[in-house]
Amino acid sequence: MSQSEAVWQSIARRKKQEQSNLIPKDWTPKTRPTANRNDVLAVPRECGLLSDQEIQITENHDATTLVKELAARRLKSVDVVTAFCKRAAIAQQLTSCLTEIMFGEAIVRAKQLDEHLERTGKPIGPLHGLPISVKDSFKIVGKDASIGYASLCFKPAETNSALVEMLLQAGAVIHCKTNIPLTLQALDSHNNVFGRVLNPANLKLTAGGSSGGEGALVAMRGSVLGVGTDVGGSIRIPAMCNGLVGVKPSHGRIPYSGQENGSLPGTEALGIRSVAGPIAHTVRDCELFFKAIGDQEPWVFDPECIPQTWEQQIVRSALRTPSLSDHMRRLRVGIVKTDGITTPLPPIQAVMEEISNTLKRNAAIEVIELDITSLLSQCQTIANGLFGVDGANTAFDLMEATSEPISPWLSKRLRRKANLTAEKIRDLQARRNALQTRFLDIWRSGGGYWKDDTGSARKLDVFICPIAPHPTPAVDSWNTVSYTSSFNLLNYPAATLPIRPVRVSDLNGNLSDQSAAPNGWEKYNRKLWDGDRSVFLGGTLCVQVISQCRQERVLLQAMTKLKDSLAVLKEDKAVKPRL
């Protein structure tokens, strides 16, 4: 370490060199994209490093087809894993999406899995031979889980996180870990050790956080299935930023134990519980993930998991049968257009209107206009309080141990505060519990939040709302998490569903004067719209789909129906109102 080099800088330099050494020299593109090229999604295909077979493996399959091809021995795991490792290496060099690189170990494991299948004729499990990436917070024996802190580097894990252990037992091959923001509390994935994750669809846009590396890697097809975590939107926001499907389950559905989250043990149990979930290109790949984990009895690996397999979860008649003979069997979908705190910008308003009009034309779907702003507007205050249980003191302790500076997005948002008292935590939890109880009313027509002309207390299956009040913004420009963190507070399963690209025509709308005295979030949102709107191009307009607590199977099967119904919006430039 030079005299002018701070401790954190020395650690970061060593860590980056270690990372660079793990990428084979012949996996480096000979030429880089020109400086004015912002969309680098096609570079892996164009750079000449991938064979035709490797391009076909990484681009023409999702995880669901790959596991079938692998189990049938039409593809070898070593070929599939090598293809995704090469593509992940290219993605890393373009977007800084990786932390721990395990290409060598992954290829060795893939060969062993191929040998087992050849010898026995039976796959190890439902994910046999499938390459999967995981967020840096997951612990893997012998690898760091530094989560971007210099002070946590070069301290390899001695045990696997519960979910890592389950993925391995299901036959998966973990080939890399992915980049995150310092503290895991930012919506733009930047840290001083591994750098900033870039959005491969538009390098000027944020890749999101805190699972930003997963979003960028899966978008570049350097991984066919990624695993992130979410405590306020950290799966759904990167999924939106990268045009992917991302699912946040309820706590207790997927094992979370054994994570490194930069806080003292037990702290998380006092606030809002973080959860792990998939990021993928297709809804069915997310269902593959949930089924593979659920059928392994996750409660054996994590004592906080519910003893319920995937097949044991409730599925309502609207999702089981295609019959339209009874209107009660139609999928019942609520439309929530605003959270009552920050008014969505015109592109978000437009896509919500398009979705509503399109679904109303589908005879198999019943659309309910749902106004729950009186409830949603209460969520953010409670959530913000519970996010600050330890006053960010552990985070600052970890940074100060090596004189590490805070990241730009956090610099004006995070500071040391006193730990919350037991009385304050008790009060916040009581308010959260009361709000959860009140939210039960939105799911039935007799609750007063939507009308039912039949007079029966019918049930809502899912509802749709924005993920943010704006499209994917520029780096370090995300506004608010109120549209996502509400469902962490309520412990509802929630997922990102991509709808269509942002178009030039989306940038022409005008803001209505919603309030004479707008709050800070509203002012910031208007500032985003008053700036250079062309920065939004390259992004994908997505929505959030939400189901009741621990009804992940209902959520995913409803998403499949919604995806099919809304596919027309990817092509149509406008959807006419229903007559």
Residue numbers belonging to the annotated binding site for substrate: 184, 210, 231-234
The answer to whether residues 255 and 293 touch, using CB atoms and an 8 Å cutoff, is: yes
Point out the annotated binding site.
184, 210, 231-234
CB atoms within 10 A of CB 505: 11
Q: Which of 421, 501, 410 is nearest to 209 (CA)?
A: 410
Q: Which long-range contacts (CB under 8 A, 24 or more apart) does 41-48 make?
A: 41/200, 41/201, 41/219, 41/220, 43/90, 43/94, 44/87, 44/90, 44/91, 44/220, 44/221, 44/222, 47/90
d(CA 489, CA 171): 33
The amino acid that residue 523 corresponds to is K
Q: What is the DSSP letter of 33?
A: P
- Residues labelled catalytic: 135, 210, 234
Q: Which of 292, 208, 277 is nearest to 493 (CA)?
A: 277
Write the secondary structure of 49-116 as one string of H (helix), E (strand) and C (coil). CCCHHHHHHHHCCCHHHHHHHHHCCCCCHHHHHHHHHHHHHHHHHHHCCEEEECHHHHHHHHHHHHHH
The pair of structure tokens assigned to 300 is: 């054996």
Measured in degrees and rounded to the nearest 5, phi and psi for residue 99 equal -120, -80
What does DSSP say about strands 173-178 and 131-135: parallel, antiparallel, or unpaired? parallel
